[in-house]
Amino acid sequence: MKKIILCLSLLLGLAGINAQEMNLHDFVVTDINGEKFELSSLKGKKVLVVNTASKCGLTPQYETLEEVYKNYGGDDFVIIGFPANNFGKQEPGTDEGIKGFCQKNYGVSFPMMSKISVKGEDKHELYQWLTQKSKNGVEDAEVKWNFQKFMIDENGNYVGHVAPQKSPDCDTIIDWIKG
């Protein structure tokens, strides 16, 4: 019996190690211009990953995201937006249309990626990692709505998430950026 418990403990320990070995830097995505974007290029930066939408009640968060990016972005911090049409079809546009909307209405200068799925059977592999404790090693955090925010540390490790309704300049996010 002791051998079985020891073996199970060892296996569970190894599963935990594997979940934490994968990080943000292991992913390659496509940016809003259709170019490959290696997330490993963000090594050394804290990253705020946000699923966005242009026709949502929370869309004005683009303005606050841009303010946070202007105040803190640079060598140590970056925001990455991922347009998604998973909630109420609130992001129906093309990448080109989304890019134009973001620049014209909110002056978005932080990196925007190509539209992806953040939930369901076609959920992008990055969002599988972000939302599953078995993959990120920290917590389950299913995307509840547009503008859910995920915090990733300088080493590409998952830190936590902030609910969609919370402002991008809430204390949780700003304290994390400054910390």
Q: Which residues are catalytic?
A: 56
Ranges of H-type helices in the chain: 2-21, 61-72, 95-106, 125-131, 133-136, 171-178
Query: Residue 60 and residue 44: Cα distance in Å, rounded?
Result: 29
Q: Which residues pair with 158 in a beta bridge?
A: 152
Per the listing, tokens 């966005």 go with 52
List Cβ neighbours of 10 (8 Å cut-off, separation of 6 or more).
none
CB 49 within 8 A of CB 113: no
Instruction: Report the SS3 class of residue 34.
Output: coil
Q: CA nearest 90: which of 69, 61, 121?
A: 61
Kindly state the helix (H) or strand (E) to which residue 125 belongs, with its residue range.
Answer: helix 125-131
